[in-house]
Amino acid sequence: MSTSEAFQLDLAAAEAYEKRFVPAMFAEWAEVMVAEAGVRPGQRILDVACGTGIVARRAAEIAGASSVTGVDINEAMLTIAARVQPGITWLPGDAAALPFPDAEFDSVLCQMALMFFPDPLAAVREMRRVASDGGTISVVVPAQLKDQPAYGPFVDLVGRHAGAEAMSLLDAYWACGDSERMLRLFNEAELTIKSLRTHIGTARYASADEFVAVEVESTPLMDRVSQKQYARVREGATEVLRPFTDQHGAVAVPLHGLLIVARR
């Protein structure tokens, strides 16, 4: 389940991630995540691998910005996060060695990042350590690729045209998506599962071309495909995404994810 892919972006790509990827895809998940975790006013909240901070911002709307901390290993992501919401505390740190004392937070959240940690178990143990007694740990990860009706064919398309480096990143996305393995992982971290369910999010784009542009240009894929490969993927995407395209050419892409809420 471990991966050597850490989803690292430079400042320009982090900006694109916040402007394009987050509204198209992860903003919806942040709403679901914060609701599922039961975030309440007065709670101390930690967003692990916060990226540009969409989950922390949603949590802050309920708990107040001064009660929320976001931590990420990537300085560029944190720079954008602080620019968008300076009222939240943003700190650099590794999920496997969180820079906080024990029992510091009532609710620990981690959205779409566990699959990028070299040792997911170490990270979940760290989330447990910094959670208060009775506090919650909530994690969302993409489901396995075989359960992704749109991403499955899209990843096949990229595989036909791009090289091993691109595929290594795309394979990492789905590495934590097996619910049995996730249950075992949480049990091993000595957490009590409150709920584990699948949610299907919908990412919306004006066209198949726009989908590919966002998937490539606001993620580390940008540095892993040549212009030629990128053009071929764009060409093939119209056909691959046809089942998800309406009569105006707009694309609605389902993303299946696992939502796990556990108690310490």
Ligand X SMILES: C[S@@+](CC[C@H](N)C(=O)[O-])C[C@H]1O[C@@H](n2cnc3c(N)ncnc32)[C@H](O)[C@@H]1O
Residue position matching structure tokens 């784009």: 205
Given 43, 80, 81, 117, the residue binding ligand X (CB under 6 A): 117
Q: Mention every residue, 6+ apart, whose C-beta is less than 8 A from residue 172.
A: 3, 5, 7, 115, 116
Q: Which residue is nearest to ligand X (CB)?
A: 51
| Closest CB 116 distance from ligand X, rounded Å | 4
How far are the Cα atoms of 53, 54, 164, 179, 253 from residue 89, in angstroms, in the given order? Answer: 10, 13, 37, 32, 33
Binding part of the chain for ligand X, among 5-13, 175-183, 224-232, 241-249 by CB under 6 A, reads 5-13
140 near 81, Cβ under 8 Å?
no
Lookup: tokens for 124:
């979940």
Q: Which is nearer to ligand X, 112 or 130 (CB)?
A: 112
Phi and psi at 189, nearest 5°, equal -85, 5
Given 1, 6, 62, 222, the residue binding ligand X (CB under 6 A): 6
**What is the x/- site pattern for ligand X, positions 86-105, by CB under 6 A?**
--------xxx---------
| Closest CB 163 distance from ligand X, rounded Å | 21
Q: Which is nearer to ligand X, 212 or 245 (CB)?
A: 212
Residue 160 CA to residue 167 CA, distance in Å, equals 10
Q: Which is nearer to ligand X, 2 or 238 (CB)?
A: 2
Smallest CA-to-CA distance from 85 within 39, 35, 18 is with 18
Write down the H helix ranges in 162-252.
164-172, 179-188, 208-217, 227-240
211 lies in the binding site for ligand X (CB under 6 A): no
16 lies in the binding site for ligand X (CB under 6 A): no
255 lies in the binding site for ligand X (CB under 6 A): no
Q: Which is nearer to ligand X, 77 or 157 (CB)?
A: 77
Q: Under DSSP, is residue 21 helix (H, G, I), strand (E, B) or coil?
A: helix
Q: Mention every residue, 6+ apart, whose C-beta is less than 8 A from residue 147.
A: 177, 256
Given 13, 24, 108, 113, the residue binding ligand X (CB under 6 A): 113
**What is the x/- site pattern for ligand X, positions 42-81, by CB under 6 A?**
-------xxx--xx----------------xxx--x----
Q: Catalog residues that contact ligand X under the rule CB under 6 A.
A: 6-8, 22, 26, 49-51, 54-55, 72-74, 77, 94-96, 111-113, 116-117
